[in-house]
Structure 1
Amino acid sequence: MKLYLKGERCYTDKCSYERRSYAPGQHGRLRPKLSDYGIRLREKQKLKRMYGLSEKQFKRYFKEADRQKGVTGTNFLILLERRLDNTVYRLGFAQSRAQARQLVRHGHILVNGEKVDIPSYLLRPGDVVAVREKSRQLAVINEALEAVPRRGIPPWLELRKEAYEGVFKYYPSREEMNIPVQEQLIVEFYSK
């Protein structure tokens, strides 16, 4: 499945998934039928790789979502969307989540005027995410901002392009998150 891991390249014809949507090798086109466990595992791995998390981090977020009131699957996706590196990517300051994570780790991002260099920092409604003054001339950030109209910005975020900042307005609902994942399968995987 196309996970958009390579940033801008995934939106063009050069995307490797568009060229060849089957596994490499002589037997790549022959896919065995997956078991129920395999289906759930693949869904979990897909989401884990989309957000670039380790198994330990992923499981910790799931346990946190399970403790909260409401639907566990939706809470889980909301926790992942609240991450600072994901928000930097969604606002268009980076072309991929991996690049957004690096921008955060290198201290290019401010949250409410304070430097935050922890990619897993969870944002709350009203938090302002901005690019540091010294980092605004970086080619990487400016190229990513030029691609924003093609990618779009989710409704729970507001981008102020001229000021190099964005606002996390509210927690998204499941209908607003267009993530190609069946979170119920992940809940079933962890509750075995």
Structure 2
Amino acid sequence: MARYIGPKAKISRKFGEPIMGPSKALQKKNYGPGMHGRGRKRKQSEYALQLLEKQKVKYTYGILERQFRALFHRAQVREGITGENLLKLCEARLDNTVYRLGIASSRRAARQLVSHKHIIVDGEVVNIPSYSLKPGQLIGVREKSKSLEAVASSLSARNTKRYNWVEWDGQELVGKFISYPERDQIPENFNEQAIVELYSK
């Protein structure tokens, strides 16, 4: 599957959750998209449920299949529970961390900021959204980019929600990736074990 650039509400309705950001469509149309969305739901097979769970994580973080499979392999060879390792590696992506810090209003917007060289890591410009951060690394906004309207509006409307694995200095516009998050700290509703079972077949 190529990177999805279609209607976000359609994907949210597919999973019944606002996985690509807040969506009013879920309140107005609380059934699946398409002409059969209101039809009788058939019982899904175990494989279908596992596949849906994988797609949910991929859509949430904006990851393609090849990247996702590589991440899964890295999660497998690390110590610990494979499913939890997978989510930790997804959370450590640069575009996701920029979003968690509040520099961007969505993961899509964060990806664009990184790609357009507005973000620095440890003082160096990094334009790879999938760049994997290590604990202790500093993430900031490039000096020339601090006046960008998108960055300024996102920081001014910055969510009061704080995440334990990142910290933000509003004066210097610099954040820190403190550590990989624990599973119970990640707010998204994922069944990572289903993904592990899918890839184990």
Pairing 1:31-70 to 2, within 5 Å after superposition:
31-70=41-80
The structural deviation recorded for 1:164 is 1.2
Alpha-carbon distance in 2 for matches of 1:20, 1:92: 29
Residue identity opposite 1:19 in structure 2:
K
What secondary structure does 1:75 align onto?
helix
Is the Cα contact below 8 Å between 1:157 and 1:169 reproduced in 2? yes
What percent of counterpart residues are identical?
45
Alpha-carbon distance in 1 for matches of 2:179, 2:103: 19
How large is the RMSD of aligned CA atoms in angstroms?
1.3
Alpha-carbon distance in 2 for matches of 1:26, 1:132: 47
Residue in structure 2 matched with residue 2 of structure 1 by the alignment: 17
Runs of 4+ in 1 over 4 A off after TM superposition: none
2:166 to 157, 165, 173: 157
1:75 to 56, 66, 85: 85
Is the Cα contact below 8 Å between 1:156 and 1:170 reproduced in 2? yes
- Length-normalised TM-score, structure 1: 0.92
Residue in structure 2 matched with residue 103 of structure 1 by the alignment: 113
What secondary structure does 2:194 align onto?
helix
Alpha-carbon distance in 2 for matches of 1:64, 1:169: 20
Alpha-carbon distance in 1 for matches of 2:59, 2:95: 14
Is the Cα contact below 8 Å between 2:92 and 2:132 reproduced in 1? yes
Is the Cα contact below 8 Å between 1:129 and 1:166 reproduced in 2? yes
Q: Are 2:104 and 1:94 equivalent residues in the alignment?
A: yes
Residue in structure 1 matched with residue 175 of structure 2 by the alignment: 166
Post-superposition Cα deviations, 1:85-142, rounded to whole Å, max 9, x if no partner, equal 0000100111111110110010000001111111111111111100011101111111
- Length-normalised TM-score, structure 2: 0.88
Residue in structure 2 matched with residue 130 of structure 1 by the alignment: 140
Alpha-carbon distance in 1 for matches of 2:118, 2:195: 33
Residue in structure 2 matched with residue 190 of structure 1 by the alignment: 199
1:114 to 124, 127, 130: 124
Is the Cα contact below 8 Å between 1:3 and 1:46 reproduced in 2? no
The structural deviation recorded for 1:26 is 4.3
Is the Cα contact below 8 Å between 2:103 and 2:110 reproduced in 1? yes
Is the Cα contact below 8 Å between 2:53 and 2:195 reproduced in 1? yes
What secondary structure does 1:155 align onto?
coil
* Count of paired positions: 185
Residue in structure 1 matched with residue 185 of structure 2 by the alignment: 176
Residue identity opposite 1:84 in structure 2:
L
Alpha-carbon distance in 2 for matches of 1:137, 1:80: 29
1:21 to 30, 34, 41: 30
Residue identity opposite 2:170 in structure 1:
K
Residue identity opposite 1:166 in structure 2:
G
Residue identity opposite 1:137 in structure 2:
S
Residue in structure 1 matched with residue 3 of structure 2 by the alignment: none
Alpha-carbon distance in 1 for matches of 2:35, 2:115: 41
Is the Cα contact below 8 Å between 1:3 and 1:50 reproduced in 2? no
Residue in structure 1 matched with residue 9 of structure 2 by the alignment: none
Instruction: Return 5+ residue gaps in structure 2 as ranges.
Output: 1-15
What secondary structure does 2:187 align onto?
coil
